[in-house]
Amino acid sequence: MSSQAARLVVLVSGSGTNLQALLDAAADESYGARIVAVGADRDGIEGLARAERAGLPTFVERLADHPGRDAWDRAVAARIAEHRPDLVVCAGFMKILGAPTLSAFPVLNTHPALLPAFPGAHGVRDALSYGVRITGCTVMLADAGVDTGPIVAQKAVPVLEGDDEATLHERIKTVERSLLVDTVGRMAREGWTVTGRIFRLGRPGR
Ligand code: GRF
């Protein structure tokens, strides 16, 4: 079973609690996926420390170390390719991936709002200041835009009286972690297809 488990490369920029949830889930062989490497766009983050504690190979490609975005895009794609992933998972990765990665691998992303509302780096803050009563999280396939790819799964989270950005984000992240774990596992075990914007679980022709 483990030799057939889908190979995941997970990309992080921060605390890595979504990565940790995937690591914990993948400890069970029946999950159907295993993390083969963790990449980041910055050093010194807890996400990388979690990967190192789990004994996983890690890599860091900082935009500032490259002459420009195109060179960074190519470097990131090359580092990912070394690990031959079936799926790349952006788990709190705060950069948009370029064509070299997007054309080579399916890429899953997670966002702390109900897309297409409140895309971008401040989805929680933007939802809160707009005054919505329900927000949530979205797992989607990445494309060249900012949080514009086909939607894979969503869950709603209520905004409570007295919430600030931190309390609301923590409540969303609890839901987000289980949605991401559930979604990645199902994609690995069941396969998936995309027609236009429409994502479906299941292998084609079944
Ligand atoms: C998640 O809410 C993700 O959607 C957002 O940043 C958070 C990452 O959390 N972009 P963590 O690093 O997985 O703890």
Residue nearest to atom 2 of ligand 1 (CA): 112
| HSE of 158, CA atoms in CB hemisphere, 13 A | 3
Q: Assess whether the C-beta atom of 14 lies below 6 angstroms from ligand 1.
A: yes
What residues are paired with 158 via a beta bridge? 134
Q: What is the Cα–Cα distance from 146 to 113, expressed in whole angstroms?
A: 13
Distance (angstroms) between ligand 1 centre and the Cα of 113 equals 11
Q: What is the Cα–Cα distance from 35 to 183, expressed in whole angstroms?
A: 15
**Is 111 considered catalytic here?**
yes
Q: What is the Cα–Cα distance from 110 to 188, expressed in whole angstroms?
A: 16
Write the pLDDT tens digit of every residue in 148-177.
999 999 999 999 999 999 999 999 999 999
**Alpha-carbon separation of residue 155 from 55, 177, 200 (angstroms):** 32, 11, 17
- Say what the pLDDT of residue 1 is: 41
| Ligand 1, atom nearest to 177 Cα | 13
Write the pLDDT tens digit of every residue in 117-147.
999 999 999 999 999 999 999 999 999 999 9
Distance (angstroms) between ligand 1 centre and the Cα of 162 equals 22
Average pLDDT for 186-202:
97
Given the residues 66, 111, 122, 169, select the one marked as catalytic. 111
Residue nearest to atom 6 of ligand 1 (CA): 92
Give the H or E element holding residue 182: helix 165-190
Confidence tier at 3 by pLDDT (50, 70, 90): low
Residue pair 170/164 in contact by the 8 Å Cβ criterion: no
